[in-house]
Amino acid sequence: MADWTEKYRPSTLSEVRGNDKARDAFAEWARSWDDHREAVVLHGSPGVGKTSAAHALANDMGWETVELNASDQRTADVIERFAGRAARNATLGGSAAGGGAGGGDTASRQLVILDEADNIHGNYDRGGASAITKLVKESGQPIVLIANDYYDMSRGLRNATQEIEFRDVSARSIVPVLRDVCRKEGIEFESDALQQIAEGNRGDLRGAINDLQAATQGRDSITVADVVTGDRDKALGLFPFLDAVLKEESAEEALQSAYAVDETPDDLMRWIENNVLDVYEPTEAVRAYDFLANADVWLGRVRATQNYSYWRYATDNAAAGVAAARDGEKGGWTRYGRPQFWSSSDATADEVVGKIAAASGCSVATARREVLPFLETVTHHCKPRELTVAMAAAYDLEEAGVAFVTGSGESTNKVASIVEDAQARREELIEEHADGAFALGAAGRRDDAADAAASESADRDGDDSGAIAGGSDRSDSGGDSAAADDSASDEEEDDDQAGLTDFM
Ligand SMILES: Nc1ncnc2c1ncn2[C@@H]1O[C@H](COP(=O)(O)OP(=O)(O)OP(=O)(O)O)[C@@H](O)[C@H]1O
C-alpha cells in the first residue's frame, strides 16, 4: 500500500493548496531570482506543504534540485561538498533566458533545498551553521531554506534571506484535497467525515491525508462513524495494544489505540518491531517493515530536530501502517517479548552511571539523577565532538556507553571514532602523568613543560608530591585521568560538579 502523502504530493505549484499568497510570492521569488540572487526561507508548521512547494516550483521552472535533509550529517564539510558545489555552479551566461515553464535557465539552474534550517544550533555543528550563512550569501544558484520556526534561525541567516510564511492549511482548503484523494482512490465519502478529519488535524494537511488513509484502509467508503475521534479515556496496556495492532484492529482503530497507550512512539515502535515476526506471515511482515522503516525515519527526525510534532507521523506508520499491512484479523495467543535492547540498555546505563560515580566521587543516585541528564544534553548526538571525546576519555566509556549517553547509534563510525580518540587521549594523559613524575624525581621540582594536564589536578589535590600521588595512587582505574583526579578531590564539598571543566 503506497503512502498517500507521497502518492499525492503536488507536482506543480498550482496543486499546493491553501497558501495562495505564499505560493505566488514563492513563484515571484524564483522568477526574479536573477535580479536579487537572494535565498528564501519557507517557514511554517509541519505538513503544510513547504517541501512540496519547493520541489513543485523546481518542476515548474525546469530546475534540478539538490536536497540536504536534517537526517544527513550537515557539517561544514558536507554542506560544502554537496550544496556549495551546486550553489557555486553558476553558469557563465547565468541569466534566466529560456527553458522551463517559468523561463529559468534549465541547462544550469539547480535549486538547493535545505531542510530544518531552524535547527542550526541544535543540529548542525558550528562549522555547519556558518557554512550555511556563507553559502546563502555567496551562492550562484537559488537556495530554499525550510524551517518550522523562523525565529529559531540565526539573525545572520535571517538578514541574508527573503522570507515567506506558509500558514496552517484551513479545514476549508483541506477538505477538497481529501475529496480529490477519495475520488482518485474510488472511495465513496460522506462530506462530514472529510470535514471531521480536516478539523481534527488543525492545519496539518499531511496529517489529514494520513488519517484518511488509515480510516479507509480496506474499505471503499467512509462515513462519519468511521472517523473515530477523541482519545479513549482509559490507558491501554502494552499487550492489548500489540493484539490490537498485530491481530485485531483496523488501521484507524490501531492508531487510536496507540494514542491510548502511555508509552512514547519510540518504545511502541520497538515493541511492535520486536513482535511482528511472531504474528505476521512473511508477505505481511515485508509490508509491515516498510512502515516501521518510515516510522524510524520520523523518529530520527524527532531526535535530530527535537520537534515532537513529528511523533505522530511515526505513530501513523508504526500503528496504522503495521495494522494495514496485515491480511485480515488474527486469533490465538502470543507470548509477546520485551524488546531486547531494554535490558542491555539498562545494563549499559548502570555501567555508565557507575563509572561517573566512581570518577566523580558522587553517589550512583546523584550520577544518575544529576550528572547523566547534563551529559546527555551537552553531548547530544556527539555534538560538540570535542566535548564528547573528552567525556568518553574522562569516564573511560566504551561504544555502548557513548551511544547510550549521546543517543547516537552504537554501531556508527562516529561513535567508534570518538571512542578511539578518547582512548588515545587517555593514553596521552597517562604518559603526561608519567613524564611529570619523572621530571619531579630527576630535577626535584615541577617541570612546567612536563605536565599541563596533570599539574592542574595535582595542584588541586593540594599535594606537592604532584603527579605521582595524583596519577598512580588511585585504586580505581578511572583515576588515571585528569578528570577523575579533579572530581575525586572535590567530592566531599560538591558531588554534582561534573561541569565542562571536569573533562576538558
Ligand atoms: N498545501 C498542500 N497542498 C497539497 N498537499 C499538501 C500540502 N501540504 C501538505 N501536503 C501533503 O502533505 C505531504 C507533506 O507535505 P510537505 O512535506 O510539503 O510538508 P512540509 O510543510 O514541508 O512539512 P515538514 O515541515 O514536516 O517537512 C505532501 O506530500 C502532500 O501530500
375-415: pLDDT as tens digits: 988 888 888 899 999 999 999 999 999 998 988 877 778 89
51 annotated to a ligand binding site: yes
Q: What is the 52 CA–ligand 1 centroid distance (Å)?
A: 5
Domain co-membership, 136 together with 177: no
Residue tagged 501513523 (cell numbers): 316
Contact between 173 and 208 under an 8 Å Cβ cutoff? The reply is no
Q: Which of 187, 202, 226 is the last residue of a domain?
A: 226
Q: What is the 78 CA–ligand 1 centroid distance (Å)?
A: 26
Percentage of the chain beyond pLDDT 90 is 36
487 pocket-lining for ligand 1 (C-beta < 6 Å): no
16 pocket-lining for ligand 1 (C-beta < 6 Å): yes
Instruction: Single out the residue of 126, 120, 127, 125 nearest to residue 161, CA to CA.
Output: 120
User: Is pLDDT of 273 > 70?
Assistant: yes
Establish if 233 belongs to a structural domain: no
Ligand 1 site-directed mutation target among 8, 16, 52, most atoms within 8 Å of CB: 52
50 annotated to a ligand binding site: yes
Establish if 231 belongs to a structural domain: no
36-70: pLDDT as tens digits: 989 999 999 888 999 999 999 999 999 988 887 65
User: Is pLDDT of 481 > 60?
Assistant: no
User: Is pLDDT of 471 > 60?
Assistant: no
User: Is pLDDT of 485 > 50?
Assistant: no
Ligand 1 site-directed mutation target among 14, 43, 51, 178, most atoms within 8 Å of CB: 51
When divided into structural domains, the chain yields a total of: 4
Q: Find the helix or strand (DSSP H, E) in which 197 lies.
A: helix 191-200
Q: Could you tell me the CATH number of the domain that includes residue 175? A: 1.10.8
Confidence of residue 115 (pLDDT cuts 50, 70, 90): confident
Domain co-membership, 362 together with 490: yes
Q: Which of 279, 312, 338 is the last residue of a domain?
A: 338
417-450: pLDDT as tens digits: 999 999 999 888 877 766 555 444 333 333 443 3
What single DSSP character describes residue 493?
T
Ligand 1 site-directed mutation target among 4, 9, 306, most atoms within 8 Å of CB: 9
Q: Is omega for the bond preceding 384 within 30 degrees of 0, making it cis?
A: yes
Q: Which domain holds residue 493?
A: 343-502
Confidence of residue 97 (pLDDT cuts 50, 70, 90): very low
pLDDT score for 76: 60
Q: Could you tell me the CATH number of the domain that includes residue 19? A: 3.40.50.300
Residue tagged 544550469 (cell numbers): 108
Domain co-membership, 257 together with 161: no
Percentage of the chain beyond pLDDT 70 is 72
- ipTM of the complex in this document: 0.96
User: Is pLDDT of 298 > 80?
Assistant: yes
Name residue 114's beta-bridge partners. 68, 145
177 pocket-lining for ligand 1 (C-beta < 6 Å): yes
Q: What is the 49 CA–ligand 1 centroid distance (Å)?
A: 3
User: Is pLDDT of 355 > 80?
Assistant: yes
Q: Which of 303, 319, 338 is the last residue of a domain?
A: 338
Domain co-membership, 355 together with 478: yes
pLDDT score for 498: 40
202-235: pLDDT as tens digits: 788 998 998 898 888 778 899 888 776 543 334 5
Residues in CB range of 186: below 8 A, 6 or more apart: 220
Residue tagged 511502541 (cell numbers): 268
